[in-house]
Structure 1
Amino acid sequence: MTTHRAHVGGTIGDLIIQAIARYPDRVAFIDEQSQLSYRQLGRRIGQAMAAFSALGLKRGDGVAQLSGNRSDVFVVMAAAYLMGLRSVTLHGMGGLDDHAYIVRDAEACFFIADGGYRERLDALREHCPAVRHWYSHDSGVAGQASFWEYAQEQEPAPLRVTAEADDVIRLAYTGGTTGKPKGVMLTNRSMWMQAVLLLAARQLPAELRLLCPTPISHGAGAMLVPTLWRGGTIILQRGFDPEKYIAALQAHRASFSFLVPTMVYAILDHPLCQGADFSSLRLLSYGASPMAPARIEEALRVFGPVLVQSYGQTESPSNILFLSQEDHARTDVNTLGSAGMPYPGVTVELLDDQDQPVEPGEIGELCVRSPLVMEGYWKQPDLTAEVLRNGWLHTGDMAYRDPHGYYFLVDRKKDMIISGGFNVYPKEVENVLAAHPTVAAAAVIGVPDDKWGEAVKAVVVLRPGGAVTEDDLKAAVRNAKGPVNTPKSIDFVDALPLTTLGKPDKNQLRARYWGDRKRKIN
């Protein structure tokens, strides 16, 4: 049965345009570079759209960015969403090899970085000859043209959505077991529904001031359009520092924020926390990795009953399970170790290896159906078919559902580590370690850590006569993959435990560090 055109609608661009029209004189963004009203934001998006058109960019072209938090990062993304371009945002802490691979794989024809990444942009120009247009967000950067000087010469294009609902408007790259990042294709449909679900499920404050130290190029970006649609102000910080965060929260009377657990821990442990005024805070959303129940209880005492948790993954962006403020406050059910219940519009089932539902209370793979779910992996049809088999998105996370309907994550089917809110894929780190001439074998696992949730640990076997220091191996990983992927510690052993098939036995390896903990994520 063919979908009728009358049943197709809703784009992320529509939400942006409506917000700009509804609140022209309110402050949309405050960052280190500028303060923008909604009217000014609309004009800047129009200038970016006009510049893209003047450069010959067409619907379906790739637009890549590398930048810290600034309002112009959102402006470029918004222009792409309206025009049906594919927005690709690189993580600032990624390594050169990954950045170059992503830009080439995404077939980007336009690249923009802020001035702080001048050396990386110069290096990428050598590695990515297919990119036609190279720009800086900033003026006066040696050897780099300023995109905004060029854009300001253009008459702003009218804010109109020309992208279709099924256009892929974002390629979100996430690590993979093959050692190369894979591009998650997110359509207008998916991006629009992500925003609508956040608006539906979150009790957003009436006086909405979002303080955002986490990268808007990644997970925190999901909060921007819902905030704008409600007429809120987004206060951007470049990087996270607990002292600066506490000062900004008080100075701006921020009412809403998104943090990863590691950041929450840093605030709670900071000396300024005890005397700080958190009374303006009405909603503190945490996610990207599990948070220890004991620290949740501590956060509730310090911040008040304002915590909400969201569990999702890039393939079903941000929104699968949700633990509300009311859920956190329940005393009849132990909810603090839970990931919550499904968002509206998201169907969740726990399936066995034959994709059949498990018995009540049993552990199964958490699988998802929703218009939110990705279109697939960019240029990887076999992997797409595997992950979306039998009409379900297979998350790779293992969970059980309690009698009250709450889902509890217990392990990951694959080896992914979540450290400080960032995904680390052991195979990628193992590949770098194994390439070192002194290393015979390497296995990488996540181990419990009070600060990071899980810390990346490498267990390494050296070649006979091989000699290398822990710092040397860490430096090799940092150079290739960036600091997030760099092991916090490396243990040198004579041999790795092996399965009967001769593969490294990571279950046995983890047991050495996790002990008898029932919950194999932290």
Structure 2
Amino acid sequence: MYQTLCQVLTDHVSRQPEAVAFFDGDHRISYTQFEASVAEIAAGLQAMNLPPASRIAYLADDHTTAYALLFACARLGHVFMPLNQRLSAEELHTLLDHAQAALLFTQEAGRKRLRFVLPRLANLHTITLSSDRAITTFQTKSQPVAARSGGDGGQACVQLYTSGTTGRPKGVVLPERCFFAITNAMRAQGDPWMGLQNHDRLLLSLPVFHIGGMWWAVQGLVAGAAGALLPRFSAGAALQAIQQHRISQVAMVPAMLHRVLSEPEGEQTDLISVKGLLYGGSPMRQSLMAAIQARLGCRCFQMYGMTETGNMAVCQRPEEHQPDNPGRRFIAGRALPGASLKIVLAKGDEAAVGQVGEVWIHSPAAMLGYHRDAEATAATLVDGWVRSGDMGFVDEDGFLTLCDRLKDMIIYAGEKIFPAEIEAVLTQHGAVAEAAVIGVPDPRWGESVKAFVVRRPDTVLRKRDLLAFAKQQLADFKVPKSVDFVESLPRNASGRILKRALRAPYWAGQSRQVH
């Protein structure tokens, strides 16, 4: 069982040196070639005499270079910090400044985007990648840096910024063990989980700047498998990669899966090679799960976790999926080996079985803390437990059901309402593409339920018909009191719906912003 990234490469270069580590466009990168790139980049970084634990930022399409930088940083004790290209120049400036980044790798387009903010980052050195984002990003006469042989995985390795749906993003600092701790615990208990093997081929369609994408790519390397990189996600590119490389294992969020299965060319694409699907990030609609089973017929694993927990801590296995059981439709799964769950009430007491409270997670893969933010770290990391900010309950069989975000909860006349439940019902209507539910001020009831709905193209849907549909499945007090039809929902750079933007016009001038 591995403890560090260096151990992963050393082992596979020894055991299967010419096996493919990455499919990157038209290139096949063997484990030996990847190790050589890591060693060369590490030598270049070492020659710069950067301070220990320097933040090394990456702003470019997903490419083997990104993962070579990750491994090179781990080799030298630096911290890899991939950035979301969808962020604005000012947002990127905020993150680079907060991180006190020493070095930024970016493409020419990225440098042009940042041309007005780079002068304000006097201590940041920028290296422009070649047009093909070649692995050899800078030349050095230094000798390649050999892999470390030891280490317990406790050193800071990665810094990822939260999406900032409720405020300023925070830099989550993760140790190397975040890639290994949970899977090592599973192996120790003889739990095969997805059973990744060196003959597998993984689709790497989740971005490197997201913990899910980076973690999934590393799991492929741990197994000695090959990963097919998509520079940026598109449904067409994903379908092409699955067919071309005979992809056996896929990780996507439900929105990506919907786009793939809705792609017209998908009907002609051979997807028979797909044996396993890992998904998470948002609830899976029953209709989408039915479409996945009809088209792919593969084993499905739902994961739940956070950047702060080092990715997954909870999993719903294929045999635990019960889409036709209303009581189990919204479960996230059970705690994985090595991880623990508890539900905590507002006053700090632990909840009873079936009682709703905040989900707290204990994981050996958890973050070290938030970079330069001791107050936020203390508020989130309590005695080794990560406060998720999600509301949920655990049943008598240990299954976690998620209700909603703590900050999204609506209190109507003393009743607690979770928007996710209402959104799940609304999106079951055939004419609804998306829905977002918020609480708005109500002088009589405290808050009332308001829905924003995006209709499917070429459909007709009236408010009264949608509300009648909702009343068939929801208690009266949960049915929206008002509905606005909109062209789209506001989202942040990671694609999450910005409910604070929806709330803003209704809560402006209020003495309190939530229930």
Same fold (TM over 0.5): yes
In structure 1, C-alpha distance between the alignment counterparts of 2:97 and 2:157, rounded to whole Å? 17
2:126 maps to 134
Matched, 1:185 2:194: no
Local SS of the residue matching 2:21:
strand
In structure 2, C-alpha distance between the alignment counterparts of 1:111 and 1:96, rounded to whole Å? 14
In structure 1, C-alpha distance between the alignment counterparts of 2:451 and 2:183, rounded to whole Å? 32
Matched, 1:168 2:177: no
1:371 maps to 364
Count of paired positions: 444
In structure 1, C-alpha distance between the alignment counterparts of 2:143 and 2:330, rounded to whole Å? 53
Q: 1:292 to 1:94 in 2, by over 3 A?
A: same
Matches within 5 A, 1:94-493: 94-131=87-124, 133-138=125-130, 148=136, 150-151=138-139, 153-160=141-148, 165-176=153-164, 179-193=167-181, 196=184, 201-204=193-196, 207-218=199-210, 219-328=212-321, 335-415=328-408, 447=452, 484=495
Local SS of the residue matching 2:282:
coil
Give the deviation of 1:78 after TM superposition: 0.8
Q: 1:148 to 1:176 in 2, by over 3 A?
A: same
Normalized against structure 1, the TM-score is what? 0.76
Q: 1:490 to 1:352 in 2, by over 3 A?
A: closer
In structure 2, C-alpha distance between the alignment counterparts of 1:237 and 1:76, rounded to whole Å? 17
Matched, 1:27 2:58: no
Q: 1:492 to 1:163 in 2, by over 3 A?
A: closer
In structure 2, C-alpha distance between the alignment counterparts of 1:18 and 1:246, rounded to whole Å? 32
Q: 1:36 to 1:206 in 2, by over 3 A?
A: closer
| Letter in structure 2 aligned against 1:184 | V
- State the Cα deviation string for residues 197-219 of structure 1 (Å, max 9, x = none): 68753222563101122212322
Higher relative contact order (CA 8 A, sep 6+): 1
2:70 maps to 77
The counterpart of 1:49, out of the listed 42, 55, 58, is: 42
Local SS of the residue matching 2:332:
coil
Gaps of 5+ in 1: 1-8, 420-425, 427-444, 452-469, 508-522
The counterpart of 2:511, out of the listed 493, 502, 521, is: 502
Percent identity, aligned pairs only, is: 24
1:63 maps to 56
Local SS of the residue matching 2:379:
helix
In structure 1, C-alpha distance between the alignment counterparts of 2:451 and 2:214, rounded to whole Å? 26
Give the deviation of 1:373 after TM superposition: 1.4
- Most deviating of 267-276 and 155-164: 155-164
In structure 2, C-alpha distance between the alignment counterparts of 1:24 and 1:302, rounded to whole Å? 36
| Letter in structure 1 aligned against 2:248 | S
| Letter in structure 1 aligned against 2:200 | L
Local SS of the residue matching 1:224:
helix
Asked whether the 8 Å contact 2:304–2:315 carries over to 1, the reply is yes
Normalized against structure 2, the TM-score is what? 0.77
Local SS of the residue matching 2:314:
strand
Give the deviation of 1:307 after TM superposition: 1.5
Asked whether the 8 Å contact 1:257–1:284 carries over to 2, the reply is yes
Matches within 5 A, 1:80-91: 80-91=73-84
| Letter in structure 2 aligned against 1:47 | E
Q: 1:348 to 1:393 in 2, by over 3 A?
A: same
- State the Cα deviation string for residues 492-519 of structure 1 (Å, max 9, x = none): 99x72689x73245x6xxxxxxxxxxxx
1:458 maps to none
Q: 1:239 to 1:231 in 2, by over 3 A?
A: same
Give the deviation of 1:232 after TM superposition: 0.9
Asked whether the 8 Å contact 1:194–1:222 carries over to 2, the reply is no
Give the deviation of 1:364 after TM superposition: 1.3
In structure 1, C-alpha distance between the alignment counterparts of 2:132 and 2:330, rounded to whole Å? 50
Local SS of the residue matching 2:372:
coil
Q: What is the aligned-residue RMSD (CA, Å)?
A: 3.6
Asked whether the 8 Å contact 1:98–1:180 carries over to 2, the reply is no
In structure 2, C-alpha distance between the alignment counterparts of 1:85 and 1:166, rounded to whole Å? 13
Q: 1:119 to 1:10 in 2, by over 3 A?
A: same
2:481 maps to none
Local SS of the residue matching 1:102:
helix
Give the deviation of 1:188 after TM superposition: 2.4
Asked whether the 8 Å contact 2:9–2:31 carries over to 1, the reply is no
